[in-house]
Amino acid sequence: MDFKKKLLAGVGHPNSLTMFRIAAVPLLILLMLSPSRWCGLFAALIFCAAAITDYFDGYVARRFKLVSSLGKIMDPLADKLLVSSAFIMMIPHNRAPAWVICIIIGRELAVTGLRNIISEKGEDVSASKLGKLKTGFQIAAIIPLLIHYNYFGIDFHAIGYVLLWVALIVTVWSGVDYFVRFRKLLTY
């Protein structure tokens, strides 16, 4: 069996990995209905598994030329759905301030709209390095905020809170960057 077949057998088709992220969202939401220690830990584990598939689906799609129209549309939507759901479900348990989450999700919606305009004009809508950094900090903030409780003397909530502030700054910065770079395409 060649490397491509082995990798695809082990990892799966890129679109299957994207759909896994989408399928993980209801389970994440269900677990986050309870603020318990175990539900938060299991939610963090599911979120981690789903977030890891984001790297692998992109890698496999590019490496083996399996990029598809469905993947181009669904991959960023799956990411936004996963991240937004995790952030929203933290609000009732006071794990993240609602206004911070509103700014983060508002940026995601605004940039998604901008990317649609960019795409219609035939321009490249690939995520920028700053956009990828933003996603990394958001994921890095979500995991300890989902865990929330102290384990092994580590205050996961405090770590997540610091990372949330960094994620907020990078999120706003990357949003402004998108709009500045593509302002010429925003004519009426």
pLDDT at 6: 47
The mean per-residue pLDDT over the stretch 85-97 comes to 97
Residue 5 has pLDDT above 60, yes or no: no
Single out the residue of 84, 95, 71, 105 nearest to residue 29, CA to CA. Answer: 84
The mean per-residue pLDDT over the stretch 108-133 comes to 83
Average pLDDT score, the chain: 87
pLDDT at 178: 87
Percent of the chain surpassing pLDDT 90? 58
| Parent domain of 71 | 3-185
More confident residue, 124 or 53: 53
Instruction: List CB contacts of 16: < 8 A, sequence separation 6 or more.
Output: none
Residue burial 162-188, b: 16+ Cβ < 10 Å; e: rest: ebbeebbebbeebbebbeeebeeeeee
149 near 156, Cβ under 8 Å? Answer: yes
User: 93: which DSSP letter?
Assistant: G
Residue 8 has pLDDT above 70, yes or no: no
Task: Measure Cα distances from 167 to 46, 140, 163, 164 in Å.
Answer: 21, 8, 6, 5
CA 140 to chain centre: 10
The CA angle 179-91-143, to the nearest 5 degrees, is 75
pLDDT at 103: 98
Residue 41 has pLDDT above 80, yes or no: yes
The mean per-residue pLDDT over the stretch 139-145 comes to 97
pLDDT at 121: 77
CATH number at residue 97: 1.20.120.1760
What does the alpha-carbon distance between residue 51 and residue 127 come to, in Å, rounded to a whole number?
A: 16
The number of folded domains in the chain is 1
Residue 47 has pLDDT above 80, yes or no: yes
User: 182: which DSSP letter?
Assistant: T
* Run of H or E including 109: helix 98-120
Q: Which amino acid is at 58?
A: G
The mean per-residue pLDDT over the stretch 13-35 comes to 91
pLDDT at 69: 65
Task: Measure Cα distances from 183 to 59, 60, 106, 119, 149 in Å.
Answer: 30, 33, 18, 14, 43
pLDDT tens digits for 52-83?
988 887 777 778 877 676 677 788 888 999 99
161 near 105, Cβ under 8 Å? Answer: no
More confident residue, 128 or 43: 43
